[in-house]
Chain A
Amino acid sequence: MASPALVRSGTFFSVFSLMTSQSTPVEPGQHLWHRVGSVAIVAVQLGLLFLIFKVFDLETQGYFRLTPLIFGGFIVHAALPMRFRMPFFLLLSFAAFGLLWEWNALLVLGVGLGLIGICHLPVKLWARVALLVVAGAVLTVVRKGLLPAANASWISTIMPLLGSIFMFRLIIYLYELQHEKTPATIWERLSYFFLLPNACFLLFPVIDYQTFRRTYYDTDAPTIYQKGVFWMFRGMTHLLVYRILYHYVVPNPTQVIDLWSYVLIAFGTYLLYLKVSGLFNIIVGTLGLFGFNLPETYHRFLLAAGFNDFWRRQNIYWKDFMMNIFYYPSFMRLRKGGMVFAIIMSTIFVFLVTWMLHSYQWFWLLGAFPLTVTDAIFWLIFGGLVLANSLRQFKAGKKGSLSKPAFSFQKAVVHAFKVLGMLIFISVLWSFWYSPTPAQWVQLIGNAGQSGPGAFALLGLILLALVGVGVAVQYANSRGIRFTLLDPAKPTFSRAAMVTSAGLIAILALGLPQTKAQLGSNVSDFIATLQYEHLTDYDLQQADRGYYDALMTTNSIMADLGAAQLQRNPPNWRPTRKSEIAEATNDIFLYRLIPSVTATIKDVPLTTNQWGMRDQNYTRTKPEGTFRIALLGASIEMAEGVRGDETFEAVTEARLNQELPGGDGAFARYEILNFSVSGYSAVQHLALMDDVVTFQPDMLVYTGHSVEDYRMLQLLVEIIRTGIELPDHLAAIVQRAGVDATMSEADVQQGLEPFAEEILGEQYRRIAARCREAGITPVWLFVPRANVRVHEGVQRVPLEKLRALAAEAGFVVLDIGDAFADVEDIVGEVYLAPWDGHPSVYGHQLLANRFYEELVENGNVLGFTAALNHTSTIADSTSQPLD
């Protein structure tokens, strides 16, 4: 192993100076071109890896935007003399921050330099700590939006980034500064904070300052680079496995009805942690490309054989942070009271700090400081078990070994039981942690307990079989048979390069259309669903219903996904139902919009007219010469977060009035009355029809969306459990489903699911029938959701089923599902905000364009441009004869 001094002794610059100078460790006999080849091999793997990121749409747009910078930066960095590398890395990091955060990066830099500067003030430590506490308090006030200036978008934008960079590293830095033996260079100090991947990954491993310095080029450069790209590859595989688990394995809480579904949710939820380990692998791997030979962030945590072992394997950086900054200092102060006393108190202290810092981290990244009972119980149980294990170890002594122990059947069985027991215990504990409340977890356990003894016996047999597998693996290992391709902690260059390259090529090939075409439609569809980031139906509905906030502050599946993306609603981002514009009702609507009020929702004023519509004022009686359309929709159509004249309904109406009147036979005026209410489903829309018909519309446009049946069921569950009286036709179905108000949410949901299609179809038929009775043309319009992308022909929900139901009911079916098809950056351009998938102003313009086109192209059939010379385009598709 070469010393850092040797590593840093490069003397001259050339494009390939890494091969010609002593700037990196030179192995004896290593040829110049061998080293050029090493960097080239890593670069090729890196290129393949970034291609996979593109093909599988992995991770944030931010990281993908940085890939040219990382790729080019890696090659230039590797070619520079050693003394220029750290400054170049810092420059590259600044470029990354500037690229993603634009001018905000300067503000982060300014505030950051101020914070670092406080650590270096020539005053006593307590004074610097006090100053940092004051600075933290000011930033806390800003983070909470309590300063007038804090409402400015630029300052609220940078707070998560500032928090991500400084919330932990500043603590470590100040602590280590007291004991720094060899002063760091300015480049080292700044690079420690402004780390390139931190520009896009805000959930960041807590990197230790000493380790950061000690491991910089502490071995030969190609080995570090190769390990970096291998870890990135490993992280990428974690993310892909996460997607499979998230979409195909882990049920949602309402689907837990027996032992097997509980096993899936408990074990699967624990495995969803692969998302975080994947991201951390990518982050640390990226740093490896620039010489930072950091240790593993996780070490095969599924194989932990005890609580202390789990604590040591899971998020190793966090464990080290806790030990160095909190455990050892408290232990040294307390040991005068005896070793046992010091161990007990220090361990309790560490777990209390871990709990608090968990919330502290959430505060800086997400804006909330969650202190939940679930969290408290989780850390109490986990900390208590680690403490008990520590005391047992202290009394019995640690029994380690340096040499490979001989195989013992008895020991192998005991070890297999320990690993399996730990896995089961942590999975159960994790399912508890992820549950919004302890009561909901108890409900899950209760559902699992409903399975008969046969199921439990079968589960026991499966577990015994797994113990058998564990023993067999240990035996094979003792005979020199390994089941891993390489040691992830210390991969050798050639072996790591081979494994990584082969894996990259295989995964990339699977993502290519040509390969998928050879694999059949089932496999092809399966792969396609892994090629884009999207939510499950359940999480999508939770988000739509405004429960995103609540979920984000707990540890649910959604929180995991959201935390990684760090896109959380600001505190003022309230759904309509929770705003002063709505009032609760004890009927099937659950809530109604209050007439003639204005409220700021999602940062934009939202006004209702005298009829309680989110729209301009209209007379109840249709004016002479007017073609009137009634729009029945939900949140997309109600359009919180855009102004009243920017909704796609308003834009379409304006354009109709601008371009159509005046032609032969065309109407003098067009009106679109917006009856949409955020959160409503077909059940509420049917109930609204009594009111709609009194406005004498000529046409009714009912907007259909993906997962519409699912949304309807969730509202129906709430209605049933609240005990609200149902219309006769719904009451009959509910009776057949065998559900009632006394049952749990999961049970009602489960009971209704087989009837979803029937219920939705019935609502459609009744709405269409009411239209025909009143001489209204019923139109079913498919409106896309920005956060449900149609990707390579794979639709998340059976859209055809919805279309067929609508057509059978008698609707004219129109489709503007391709409105966002040409948008490259859906989140950046069409999302209302990074945390809100409802359409932006631009999104509404795109919807309006397509809506207008559909109306005009089908004007003859729809009846409002009867005298214009337009050709019908729907008569030959799914339209039904109109009465």
Chain B
Amino acid sequence: MSATVSSASEIKANVKEYILKKFLPGENPDMLEDSTPLITGGVLDSISTVELVAFLEEQYGVEFEAHEMSADHLDTLETIAATILAKSGA
């Protein structure tokens, strides 16, 4: 089911909720800020990165390429939102 892409803040909130639930269970939501490093900070490893990408593709109807599974595109909530917006042409 694809969600409508409306704004960066909505994307960030949605992705934040997913990451907290999936990879950081029990974590204080305030600890996960927009600029918290996810890949370079060790929150996401290879398995969780592919899971996150699968989630993003399903949620926003976008398609990732292999070279985009990197810190340049997925390291923070901000870069994730920017990547989704760029892909959806918003």
Bound together, the chains give a CA A327 to CA B64 distance in angstroms of 14
Main DSSP-derived SS at the B contact region: loop
Within 8 A of B (CB), among A324-376: 324, 327-329, 331-332, 335, 339, 342-343
The answer, yes or no, to whether A178 is at the interface (CB within 8 Å) is: yes
With A176-B67, A399-B25 given, name 20 new contacts (CB 8 A): A179-B67, A324-B67, A327-B46, A328-B69, A329-B67, A332-B64, A332-B69, A335-B50, A339-B50, A339-B54, A393-B47, A394-B51, A397-B22, A398-B48, A401-B24, A401-B26, A401-B27, A402-B27, A402-B28, A402-B31
Contact A402 B32 (CB under 8 A): yes
Bound together, the chains give a CA A343 to CA B54 distance in angstroms of 13
The answer, yes or no, to whether B66 is at the interface (CB within 8 Å) is: yes
Task: Write the residues of chain B forming the contact surface with A, with a CB cutoff of 8 angstroms.
Answer: 22-28, 31-32, 36, 40, 42-43, 45-48, 50-51, 54, 64-67, 69-70, 72
Which A residue sits closest to B41, measured CB to CB? A402
Bound together, the chains give a CA A390 to CA B28 distance in angstroms of 26
Contact B46 A397 (CB under 8 A): no
Contact A332 B22 (CB under 8 A): no
The residues of A that contact B72 with a CB separation of less than 8 Å are 210, 214
The residues of B that contact A323 with a CB separation of less than 8 Å are 46
The residues of B that contact A175 with a CB separation of less than 8 Å are 67
Q: Contacts A331-B50, A332-B64, A403-B28 known; A398 to B70 CB distance under 8 Å?
A: no
Instruction: Bits for A78-111, please: 1 = Cβ < 8 Å to B, else 0.
Output: 0000000000000000000000000000000000
Within 8 A of B (CB), among A490-535: none
The answer, yes or no, to whether A635 is at the interface (CB within 8 Å) is: no
Contact A312 B45 (CB under 8 A): yes
The residues of A that contact B40 with a CB separation of less than 8 Å are 295
Instruction: Identify B47's interface contact among A176, A324, A335, A343, CB under 8 A.
Output: A343
Which A residue sits closest to B31, measured CB to CB? A402
20 contacts between A and B (CB under 8 A): A176-B67, A179-B65, A214-B72, A295-B40, A328-B66, A331-B50, A331-B66, A332-B64, A332-B65, A339-B50, A339-B54, A342-B50, A343-B47, A393-B47, A394-B51, A397-B23, A398-B23, A398-B48, A400-B27, A401-B26
Q: Contacts A179-B67, A214-B72, A331-B66 known; A400 to B47 CB distance under 8 Å?
A: no
Bound together, the chains give a CA A198 to CA B86 distance in angstroms of 39
Bound together, the chains give a CA A401 to CA B32 distance in angstroms of 10
Distance in angstroms from A341 CB to nearest chain B CB is: 12
Bound together, the chains give a CA A324 to CA B49 distance in angstroms of 12
Bound together, the chains give a CA A393 to CA B23 distance in angstroms of 11
Bound together, the chains give a CA A80 to CA B46 distance in angstroms of 40
Bound together, the chains give a CA A178 to CA B67 distance in angstroms of 9
The residues of A that contact B42 with a CB separation of less than 8 Å are 400
The residues of B that contact A178 with a CB separation of less than 8 Å are 67
The residues of B that contact A327 with a CB separation of less than 8 Å are 46
Contact A400 B69 (CB under 8 A): no
Which B residue sits closest to A329, measured CB to CB? B66
The answer, yes or no, to whether A609 is at the interface (CB within 8 Å) is: no
Bound together, the chains give a CA A396 to CA B78 distance in angstroms of 27
Bound together, the chains give a CA A402 to CA B45 distance in angstroms of 14
Bound together, the chains give a CA A32 to CA B27 distance in angstroms of 44
Contact B45 A398 (CB under 8 A): yes
Distance in angstroms from B47 CB to nearest chain A CB is: 5
Residue from B26, B43, B67, B69 with most neighbouring chain A CB atoms (10 Å)? B67
